[in-house]
Chains A and B, each alone.
Chain A
Amino acid sequence: MTSYFIRRLLLVIPTFLGITLVVFTITRLVPGGPIERIIAQARQMNMSEGNTSGGSSLQDDSPLSPDQIEELKKFYGFDKPILISYLDWLGKILVLDLGVSTRYYDPVWEIIKDKLPVSAYYGIVTTILTYLVCIPLGVLKAIKHKSFIDSTSSIIVLIGYALPGFIVAIILFVWPAAQWDWFPLGGFISEDFEDLTLAEQIWDVIHHSVLPLIAYMIGGFATMTFLMKNTLMDHLASDYIRTAIAKGLSFRSAVFKHAFRNSLIPLATHFGNNISLFLAGSFLIEKVFNIDGLGLLGFESLVERDYPIVLGVLVITSILGLLGNILSDFCVALVDPRVKFD
């Protein structure tokens, strides 16, 4: 099994190279990068500061000569062929240097590091709460299959599943936050956060995060709950549980001691997938609630064509995603000793 995991880990490398190469190439081919921005700005600047009379103003000239554009390309390292600059970039990644933002001229890692706590907070809390709600609910639904509780909760969970997270976010933003004024209008913390006492600070964070958390969780509920319910029911219907009960084990302990544990396996496989969600979040939800997390950072960098940040965010999320997959398998192996990988 160790060799299996080693092989899986090694396979991460070509996949990672593939992902980054694809995105790197696209970012290179698309106009609107820092150089285009300077050219465009120079012209608008011509207009706003292209002072003086028609004759002498620079507005009237083509301001940037090809040589000057070459200079700029060199400044941003765009003067080399794609593959070469990709290798340059990769070489820096290997020594954990994500480069410098082409907008802020700050190290990408510093910028990402600033946003990590926010994203991690939402990711971790979402995961924990999802498990906390889904596992008991799944168990309940399995035991009370086809009861009133089962079917009503199914409907609710399914509705949550049906709606994309950002629609839920919009609904929550429009009514509880904006119309009824129950919650703040987005953001992660209040403006005057630093002036609050600790208790107020904790309350402030909770108050701000209730709605986004709901939006984050609601989509995951259905999958998790049904997974829990269905596997548990499969197990309850299986022979070994029937035997156990026939032998005099109480239903209760049959459920919790045997079936329950085995039913957690598929949930465990999901755990790894959540890892990337931990950090990447959903920029749509972040956008609706104006949460300054990694998702929004990626989105804004993309819109503003700050490719070092886009690639930096990609590196972090894709590595986490790939490792998450392996972790899933590992969790399965951990929970279920029968599972063998070859």
Chain B
Amino acid sequence: MSVKKLLSYWIMGWLLCFTTSIDAAEKLPNHIKWETNDTAPVWADPNAKKGGTFRDTIPTFPLTIRMFGPDSNGSFARVLRRNQLRLISYHPDTEEILPQLATHWAFDDDRKTMYFKLDKRARWSDGPLVTADDFVFGLEFMRSKHIVSPWYNNFYTKEIEKLVKYDDHTIAIVATKPDPDLPELVKDLLPQPKHFYGELTKDFVRKYNWTIKPNTGPYFIDKIKKGKSITLKRKKDWWAKDLKYFKGRFNVDKIIFTVVRDQSTVFEYFKKNKVDYFSLTLPSYWHEKAKNLDIHQKGYAKKHWFYTNSREPPIGFWLNEDKEVFKDRNVRHAFAHAMNVEKLLKTLLRGDYARLHNVTTGFGKYTNPQIRARNFDIPKVEALMTQSGWKRGNDGIWIKGKMRYSVRVTYTSDTHTARLAFLKEEAKKAGVELNLQRLDGSAAFKSFLEKKHDVAWMGWSTGFRPQYWGSFHSVNAHKPQTNNITNTDDPEMDQLIDSYRKASQTSERIKLAHAIQEKVHEIGSFVPAYKVGYFRAIYWRWWQLPRVPATRSSESFFDLFADDYGTGGLFWLDPEIKKETQQAMKTGKRFDSKTLIDNTFKAN
């Protein structure tokens, strides 16, 4: 981007802030139709009891409690980020729009503007009401250079044209272009407490690194013991606590996050009742380390397995088509047939994980169900390779002229070493040699973006709707710093993606998405590996959950806020059961040993 362009954004940004205040006099158009939603099913248990302390752990102490700027994207920052309400949210199961800070919303016919009526009860934790000015400031905030978040700066300059204030509790957000998923685009614009920040200055990053700022969510930060723990407390008179979609949620009074560096120590802590739950999602824990636990057999703690069904990150091998070997489509397809993912799932992963078939999985109608991943199949590898003129060399690895089918697989996580080592041994049988290269996260990412890798083993995180332009459009191929790490360069693909981006009808987009997924499969530069598709945990029996213990897209039973829309916080503590259990633990009395499996959302 040129300096000029950046400058123009700047000027635009300032102008906007300026104009919004003038716009205050603007009148609300008459043709819009206000909508709200008070009929959606509730997913929490309205009879949940309030009270108690929940003891959780975090692997590292957060680097900051700012929610913006450098290092504000760690796992704990996510907790903080979700501890504030948005204009609207989605129902976790049906995905219909639900009110949060806005009670009503409306769309303009141009599909560019969305109007909101703010809830007049909404309050900041330090007292003042949440008003339209906080949203005006919120946009100014996101565009400010002082928050050192160039990504946000870009996004809110390029995607949002302006924010219009009609009165203290009515606003409109205008996007730069029409969008069929407009709510998704605008809902993340958070109000910022102007009364707290005042003017933003250059020292923002340092000044607010450990400053607790007012929020709109159910909890506030009570205590920070640097390097050791962070305590959140429930706001006793939280303004939204009796609203329909918040009833029975956010029940515990206090949550303590203690830093415990590694998983095995957390497990020890759990067994000694110093922590309230332990995640057993990893196969090695569920099947081995937590197999014969005394506390489980005596019934003091429950094991619980919950199948989810939501957007799955595309985890697998991303082949770099710019490398000589992968220029040939047959060779790419052979690669897929040489990966014995099925056996990996059955043996090392104990059959817990499921095969991933499609780059777009779990996106509802947007997912093309026809696409099946290529299976491990040595005869097919042999047919494809000989067709392209390759021969098996002395060591069984395919050769053609000076080329040898030996590729480097770059990955980042230690836990994946065993899995890749397994695939490496199996691939040898099919005549493909994998050389494993584990790099530190940022170094690996750098090499992917610079397209220096042969094969990248990774997954992208997912958005609300599938997206393809960044990863598969030829505009982003053959140059550094773009997400097209496969260097996919296919005119038909380009055409499909362009129409997908332009399509304004949902049905048309779905059709195009299916076609794109087919194309991705045909090109074969992404080899899908597996999806987890569940989570499970062991927790003390005094913790209670609703009948359906979590939502379709939850990540844990005990996630306070669950996802970006804050649909979690469903658990509560039953003090009677706690007392009873603690007594039993002293006397050695037993309860029924319980292992629950919930299939409500299980995908086939």
Contact = CB atoms under 8 A, between A and B. Distances in A.
Interface of A: 31-32, 34, 36-68, 71-72, 75, 100, 102-106, 114, 185-186, 191, 290, 292, 303, 305
Interface in B308-341: none
Given A53-B184, A58-B154, A63-B151, 20 more contacts: A32-B446, A37-B442, A38-B150, A46-B470, A49-B188, A50-B463, A51-B463, A52-B181, A52-B465, A54-B501, A57-B159, A59-B470, A59-B483, A60-B476, A64-B154, A68-B1, A68-B153, A71-B150, A75-B148, A105-B209
Contacts of B253: none
Q: Name which of B70, B148, B176, B184 has the most chain A CB atoms within 10 A of its CB.
A: B70
A53 B501 contact: yes
Contacts of A100: 206
A59 B463 contact: yes
A51 B180 CA distance: 12
Interface string B483-504: 1000000000000010011100
A57 to B, nearest CB: 6
Contact of A45 (B63, B70, B151, B159): B151
A46 B151 contact: yes
A54 to B, nearest CB: 4
Contact of B445 (A43, A45, A67, A185): A43
A43 B483 contact: yes
A55 B460 contact: no
Contacts of B446: 31-32, 36, 39-40
A65 B467 CA distance: 22
Interface string B1-26: 10100100000000000000000000
Contacts, number: 170
Contact of B63 (A67, A104, A185, A303): A104
B227 interface: yes
Interface in B169-184: 175-177, 179-181, 184
A339 to B, nearest CB: 46
Interface in B392-450: 440-443, 445-446, 449
A32 B465 contact: no
Nearest to B469: A60
A41 B442 CA distance: 9
A62 B158 contact: no
15 contacts: A34-B70, A37-B70, A46-B483, A47-B461, A51-B187, A54-B465, A54-B500, A54-B501, A56-B159, A58-B154, A58-B155, A59-B469, A65-B6, A65-B150, A185-B265
B482 interface: yes
Contacts of B187: 51
Contacts of A102: 70
Nearest to A64: B150
A105 B64 contact: yes
Interface string B81-110: 000000000000000000000000000000
B463 A47 contact: yes
Contacts of A53: 179-181, 184, 465, 467, 501, 509
A57 B206 contact: no
Contact of B468 (A39, A43, A54, A63): A54
